[in-house]
Structure 1
Amino acid sequence: MTTTVDLTQYISEAIEGKRDLFTHASDRIWGFAETRFDEFQSAELLMELLESEGFTIERGVAGLETGFIASYGKGLPVIALLGEYDALADLSQEAGISTYHSVLPRGNGHGCGHNLLGIGALAAAVAVKDYLQEHPETQGTVRFYGCPAEESGYGKTYLAREGYFKDVDAALSWHPHSLNAVMHGSSNAVIHGTFTFKGISAHAAAAPHLGRSALDAVELMNIGSNYMREHMIDQARIHYAITNSGGLAPNVVQAEAEVTYLVRAPKSAQVRSLFERLVKVAEGAALMTETTMDFKYEGACANLIPNSTLEKVMHQHLVAFGAPEYDEEEYAYAKAIYDTLPIQNQQEAGALVGPELAPLLAERPLPNFIAPYSDEKETFMGGSTDVADVSWNVPTAQCITTTMAFGTPLHAWQTVAQGKSSFAHKGMLLAAKAMAATAIESILHPEIVKEAQQELLDRLGGEVYDCLVPADVQPPKRGE
């Protein structure tokens, strides 16, 4: 019988034996830095690696040009590893330094560490494959889900809507962070929509009465949405960006303007209701300005459903592997990054770990411990993730591992700068080991999966998955 010690040693050797393969691939994806639905090079690299490891590939799943599923094994249970690989716009940054320096003006950058995330999940899938290959008597299937557009567009939502998780027994994921822990909590659901207004162009001085300003409509919509804030629940969020102001000439009445919105709330029904109200605000702005309005869904995702059963197994293995060891050069670089953070970021990070650990981590900002696990109280993440849509369909667990200096904010240049560091690689491989061990234990002990599935049913309490993306909305194609 395989023990935890045996499994820990097997997984460590399997992943460390291919360390160079995994870290090199992560660095290449960091360099590609492709944004939502355009991750063609990144997806191709992942598929090539998986094919070389004996996986069969299904490309273009759920209408996603950069989405795919790689499978190995036979029979039940089916364990899914979720991989992301999209970057963020306007976050180009040179790697390995502690000052802001954009490599390419307005270029992209991996400001959320998804270059690490995708390869970490891939490394876990390969380790599970290696185990199944060496133990042919073991029944089970491992799948790597290539999930594009997590940052905006939400590829997993389309995969869930089209039923690609219906035959999956458990799903595992992770996220780059500045702590080592297993996550137990929920998140905001979100709907992302873009609103386009069209009016009538005219000379703003000679004949303003003949014009109808689309920019006025955008501004009025924004004012209306800001008044909505007083009449929402506290955890809801609305934020927007004007993506087309109608031109650069103030003496021309703007004939077209556009604004894109994210609406968030703790429950899917709440966010749907808020978005419907926002559409009414947009319609009102169009009426006031005698313009026309059209909107489109850019994507959406549900609220996250935690699963204590799987999380406890993952935490047990994370503890068994232990936090990485760091050398003085790594601590020095992390300290240099930490010193660039605004004092508010440092204080908030310190509050998370308490007054005893905060000053220690301020001096040596790479946590060399595994945080305790507790499911007594759910944490709440104000942001959103399309892992949530998976969690409504199949028991799902996630961990975080240290890939950046303590307190580093996501979606910032500091995250990009650390994305190829040696400690980022160490955190990525720790996450891979924890996920692989959790997957293999779930295969070897089907009762874990059954208990996790019952927990999911209990948490849902009769609710069923209702995708927030309408059935007629499809993911964009290249060039759209």
Structure 2
Amino acid sequence: MSLTEKIANYIDQKSGLYKNVSDSIWDYAETRFDEVRSADLLCKTLENEGFHVERGVANLETGFIGTFGNGKPVIAILGEYDALAGLSQQAGSTNYEPIIPNGNGHGCGHNLLGVGALAGAIATKQYLEDNHLTGTVKYFGCPAEESGYGKSFLARDGYFKDVDVAFSWHPGTINTVMHARANAVINATFKFKGRSSHAAASPHLGRSALDAVELMNVGVNYLREHIVDEARIHYAVTNTGGVAPNVVQAEAEVTYLIRAPKPNQVKDLYKRVLNCAQGAALMTETTVEEQIVGSCHNLIPNKTLEKVMHQHMQDLGSAKLTENDIHFAKDIYSTLSEEEKKVAALQVGKEVAQMLVDRPIIDFLAPLPEEPFFMGGSTDVADVSWNVPTAQCSTATWAFGTPFHTWQAVAQGKSSYAHEATMLAGKAIACTAISALENPTLIENAKAELVERLGGETYEALIPKDLVPPKSNRESAAIMA
């Protein structure tokens, strides 16, 4: 029996367990740093499967590491389980239909991601046991990928120093091995303080913090013309200082995401944004306090591992599809705008896109690209990839064209094809992990590639050394329970 067949059997035998765990995490829909029930369920599942679980690692209340085995090599498998705010949606519906208005939902599929990684870790553990192999598999429970950067805290605190290689995956609309790079990012808040006054009777006595926020944003918008092409800057006003227009707002706050291709570039760009904030404070005679609340590096691909993962995905084949799956996916596809469909078509080409109109679930494996493609966004997997060789895949858990962070993605989170694609990802991870366990040369070559790609640079976390991750909101967790 081949390796892929053995791993497929391991995972298929427990697929009912994995689907139930995934659906439960979908139900919990806990956002960053509040994944109390989700993390607990994953921890208990790992413990039931024979893993030793350490909770609360790196001061992450909902972070954990499940470990099985001993000795080298050490394989890390990365799991996520946080949802997004404002994306509540009924499962299986082809209409926008929130369960709770403005509630949470798994619009990035992390209920699937965490469980696919879980399946990969447990299958790797079973293979180690059955073949009496030396080696260690670690499941990293990584909270708050969505603008919380749980892995960055883990990397900053040295939790990957003993790891040899790492693997993960992400839900999506295509079956592929990710040969990709992504922007580094700094997430910062700027709090302005002024002086309140009656806006009509004594406006000259007031100093508007809200004016400062607006002027900062105008300054940053002018700055956009003078940054490198791949950089991105975006913001949200998180405190307007009140709702009364007849009061000069004494406080206001804005949060920024500042992205650039390299850590040094994003640090420099952050300083320029900070200058805009300080200039706005000077113009309005207010004060400003800034704080970096999260960050991550740029993603470093590793083709040595990716080639092995790609070969295993070829051997595994695509996820199973039924006519009901195709019908549901077609209905989801029909909800997309023409612009969204055109953007999706650019990813696969006009001919393939036309074929997918009537059967909009991709059931083929995309070629492994020669050069890394650029993702405008960011991922905290990047901080792991700076420390150890890292490979990731994606599987078609959603209908072709489904945008990330949408109600359509949430609606498909419990579909049978999402479950099957999750199992496929787990199988690909486990097969690649075992190839690394059994082939020390593969690990050596992957490490050599990482050194070459870093070009002499070394990892230094972008988040401040003294920054402590937020604690979970116990009150909201109790309400959800």
**Range of TM-score over shorter length:** over 0.9
Q: Which of 330, 335, 338 is the matching residue for 1:340?
A: 335
Q: Could you tell me how far 1:15 is from its partner in structure 2?
A: 0.3
Instruction: Give the SS at the match of 2:69.
Output: strand
Query: Within 5 A, what are the aligned runs for 1:365-384?
Result: 365-374=360-369, 376-384=370-378
Instruction: Give the SS at the match of 1:323.
Output: coil
- Does the CA-based 8 Å contact 1:199-1:212 persist in structure 2? yes
Q: Which of 84, 88, 105 is the matching residue for 1:88?
A: 84
- Does the CA-based 8 Å contact 2:32-2:148 persist in structure 1? yes
Give the Cα–Cα distance (whole angstroms) in 1 for the partners of residues 421 and 221 of structure 2. Answer: 40
Q: Could you tell me how far 1:477 is from its partner in structure 2?
A: 1.8
Partner of 2:8: 12
Give the Cα–Cα distance (whole angstroms) in 2 for the partners of residues 11 and 23 of structure 1. Answer: 17
Letter in 2 for 1:463: E
- Does the CA-based 8 Å contact 2:35-2:472 persist in structure 1? no
Partner of 1:314: 309
Instruction: Give the SS at the match of 1:48.
Output: helix
Give the Cα–Cα distance (whole angstroms) in 1 for the partners of residues 89 and 288 of structure 2. Answer: 37
Give the Cα–Cα distance (whole angstroms) in 2 for the partners of residues 473 and 325 of structure 1. Answer: 45
- Does the CA-based 8 Å contact 1:197-1:293 persist in structure 2? yes
Give the Cα–Cα distance (whole angstroms) in 2 for the partners of residues 478 and 365 of structure 1. Answer: 39
Give the Cα–Cα distance (whole angstroms) in 2 for the partners of residues 425 and 195 of structure 1. Answer: 41
Q: Which of 420, 434, 442 is the matching residue for 2:428?
A: 434
Partner of 1:172: 167
Partner of 1:66: 62
Q: Which of 397, 400, 403 is the matching residue for 2:391?
A: 397
Letter in 1 for 2:91: A
Partner of 2:416: 422
Q: Which of 272, 276, 287 is the matching residue for 1:281?
A: 276
Q: Could you tell me how far 1:132 is from its partner in structure 2?
A: 1.1
Q: Could you tell me how far 1:325 is from its partner in structure 2?
A: 2.6
Give the Cα–Cα distance (whole angstroms) in 1 for the partners of residues 310 and 15 of structure 2. Answer: 22
- Does the CA-based 8 Å contact 1:189-1:301 persist in structure 2? yes
Sequence identity (%)? 61
- Does the CA-based 8 Å contact 1:152-1:298 persist in structure 2? no
Give the Cα–Cα distance (whole angstroms) in 2 for the partners of residues 288 and 412 of structure 1. Answer: 39
Is 1:387 the counterpart of 2:374? The answer is no
Is 1:247 the counterpart of 2:242? The answer is yes
Letter in 1 for 2:210: L
Partner of 2:464: 470
Letter in 2 for 1:453: K
Partner of 1:130: 126
Q: Deviations over 1:193-239 (max 9, x none)?
A: 11111111111111111111111011001001101101101110000
- Does the CA-based 8 Å contact 2:196-2:208 persist in structure 1? yes
- Does the CA-based 8 Å contact 1:83-1:146 persist in structure 2? yes
- What is the TM-score of this pair, normalised by structure 1? 0.98
> What is the Cα-based RMSD across aligned positions, in Å?
1.0
Q: Deviations over 1:289-336 (max 9, x none)?
A: 111111221200000000001000100111111011311111111011
Letter in 1 for 2:308: V
Give the Cα–Cα distance (whole angstroms) in 1 for the partners of residues 241 and 473 of structure 2. Answer: 22
Is 1:303 the counterpart of 2:293? The answer is no
Q: Deviations over 1:420-446 (max 9, x none)?
A: 111110110000000001001110111
After the TM superposition, which segments of 4 or more aligned residues of structure 1 sit over 3 Å from their partners? Answer: none
Q: Structure 1: where are the runs of 5+ without partners?
A: none
Is 1:145 the counterpart of 2:109? The answer is no
Instruction: Give the SS at the match of 2:288.
Output: strand
Q: Could you tell me how far 1:448 is from its partner in structure 2?
A: 0.7
- Does the CA-based 8 Å contact 1:211-1:253 persist in structure 2? yes
Aligned residues: 474
Q: Deviations over 1:130-149 (max 9, x none)?
A: 1111122x111100000011
Give the Cα–Cα distance (whole angstroms) in 2 for the partners of residues 461 and 237 of structure 1. Answer: 24
Q: Deviations over 1:45-79 (max 9, x none)?
A: 00000000000011111111111111001111100
Give the Cα–Cα distance (whole angstroms) in 1 for the partners of residues 398 and 127 of structure 2. Answer: 30
Give the Cα–Cα distance (whole angstroms) in 2 for the partners of residues 34 and 255 of structure 1. Answer: 33
Q: Could you tell me how far 1:479 is from its partner in structure 2?
A: 4.0
Is 1:272 the counterpart of 2:267? The answer is yes
Give the Cα–Cα distance (whole angstroms) in 1 for the partners of residues 203 and 90 of structure 2. Answer: 48
- Does the CA-based 8 Å contact 2:36-2:472 persist in structure 1? no
Partner of 1:453: 447
Partner of 1:103: 99
Letter in 1 for 2:383: D
Instruction: Give the SS at the match of 2:236.
Output: strand
Letter in 2 for 1:382: G
Q: Could you tell me how far 1:248 is from its partner in structure 2?
A: 1.0
Q: Deviations over 1:250-293 (max 9, x none)?
A: 11111111111000011111111001111111111111111111
Give the Cα–Cα distance (whole angstroms) in 2 for the partners of residues 70 and 479 of structure 1. Answer: 24
Letter in 2 for 1:279: L
